[in-house]
Amino acid sequence: MAKRSVSILTRLLTNPSSPFTAPTRSITYMPRPGDGAPRTVTLIPGDGIGPLVTGAVEQVFEAMHAPVHFERYEVRGHMRKVPEEVMESVKRNKVCLKGGLATPVGGGVSSLNMQLRKELDIFASLVNCINVPGLVTRHENVDIVVIRENTEGEYAGLEHEVVPGVVESLKVITKYCSERIARYAFEHAYLNNRKKVTAVHKANIMKLADGLFLESCREVAKAYPGITYNEIIVDNCCMQLVAKPEQFDVMVTPNLYGNLIANTAAGIAGGTGVMPGGNVGAEHAIFEQGASAGNVGNDKIVEQKKANPMALLLSSAMMLKHLQFPTFADRLEIAVKQVIQEGKWRTKDLGGDCTTQEVVDAVIKALD
């Protein structure tokens, strides 16, 4: 009898109930006739690790037989502007997947990432910073969505030299843009069953600019009585993020703070190599690695081909949902999360030593 109990004990201990025992049947979905027709997506590999990770996405989509085909365009960060044909393609396809574009420091060349967002009026940037099961971090219970205004604020690119040796940089905040980003944030919270929206600001110092932002947020909050709204000053916010991140849910921010908060939140939840994200406007959407730090990578990673493709794979799962192929999106997400959880195939930023290709092969094998 004791012998039997030993075997039961062994069985129990060797089969931990994992939260990702892949659900064999997840959703009942009735597509419309014609929903399976393939969609075209503009693909911009970009600079640095860009081609490596977008290549990863292409391989996985091929393996899944996803109804997506890519129109590839070479764009480099040092070009003066995004080529016309690329803009045409994005406007036509409405959806784009891109790697990072390296923006040279100083020198007056404006960022092509910014240019894309402004021309297509992609006003909201969304990053979902969430603890991935199996990936050990110093912070637990992190599940923050940072929604950042993408077109104005400090990144308006309006700078001029007043007098030799004195430069002014203009930060523009408009009611129109603040209102629409607030509306998008609350709508996102409503549609995704989120309970709280936090506005991040520095209105104690920039009373008029950030004050206008806050006013717009407060007005929109009144239309959503079911969602808690609060405000936090950005310096306190950074400290709270690293001390008690579980208090944050959805955060809505202007451009600069959003950039910093998104990267901090991504960092505490596991690193910018795994957080999915995207940029959306009324008509177009661009998907890329969630938080911007490290999306081009350094030469060493490019040489050794050890870039982390997870972030872009999860972003492309978001893209599949956006294109209304929910089953493919689910399969991809489950496969990626399984690979992360198993822990054997991890790139350097997650503590392992694999190459990008090894991770891609593991994901393809984990697809069901």
Partner 1 sequence: MSRRSLTLLKNLARNSNASSSCIQTRSVTYMPRPGDGSPRAVTLIPGDGIGPLVTNAVEQVMEAMHAPIYFEKYNVHGEMSRVPGEVMESIRKNKVCLKGGLKTPVGGGVSSLNVQLRKELDLFASLVNCFNLPGLPTRHENVDIVVIRENTEGEYAGLEHEVVPGVVESLKVVLSLKISFVIESFDFDVTRSLENSTRFVPGVVESVEVITKFCSERIAKYAFEYAYLNNRKKVTAVHKANIMKLADGLFLESCREVAKKYPGITYNEIIVDNCCMQLVAKPEQFDVMVTPNLYGNLVANTAAGIAGGTGVMPGGNVGADHAVFEQGASAGNVGKDKIVRENKANPVALLLSSAMMLRHLQFPSFADRLETAVKRVISEGNCRTKDLGGQSTTQQVVDAVIANLE
List residues near partner 1 by CB under 8 A.
Answer: 1-2, 4-5, 8-9, 11-12, 17, 19, 21, 23-36, 65, 67, 123-124, 126, 128, 130, 180, 183-184, 187-188, 190-193, 226, 276, 278, 280-282, 285, 314, 317-318, 321-322, 324-328, 330-331, 333, 368
Q: Which is nearer to partner 1, 7 or 161 (CB)?
A: 7
Identify the sign of the CA torsion 132, 136, 142, 144: negative
Q: Which is nearer to partner 1, 32 or 80 (CB)?
A: 32
Please give the angle made by the CA atoms of 123, 280 and 153, to the nearest 5 degrees. 20
Q: Which is nearer to partner 1, 128 or 347 (CB)?
A: 128
Q: How far is the CB of 53 from partner 1 (least distance, A)?
A: 18
Strand partners, 128: 145
Q: Which is nearer to partner 1, 184 or 229 (CB)?
A: 184
| Burial grade of 316 (CB within 10 A; 0-12, 13-18, 19 or more) | buried
Q: How far is the CB of 250 from partner 1 (least distance, A)?
A: 12
Q: How far is the CB of 300 from partner 1 (least distance, A)?
A: 30
Q: Which is nearer to partner 1, 27 or 105 (CB)?
A: 27
Report the interhelical angle of 356-366 vs 50-64 (nearest 10°): 20
Q: Which is nearer to partner 1, 330 or 358 (CB)?
A: 330
Instruction: Look at strands 143-149 and 153-163 and give their pairing.
Output: unpaired
First-residue to last-residue Cα distance in the chain: 40
Q: How far is the CB of 199 from partner 1 (least distance, A)?
A: 18
Q: Which is nearer to partner 1, 232 or 339 (CB)?
A: 339
Q: Which is nearer to partner 1, 128 or 306 (CB)?
A: 128
The pair of structure tokens assigned to 21 is 């025992």
Q: How far is the CB of 320 from partner 1 (least distance, A)?
A: 11
Pairwise CA distance, residues 348 & 350, whole Å: 5
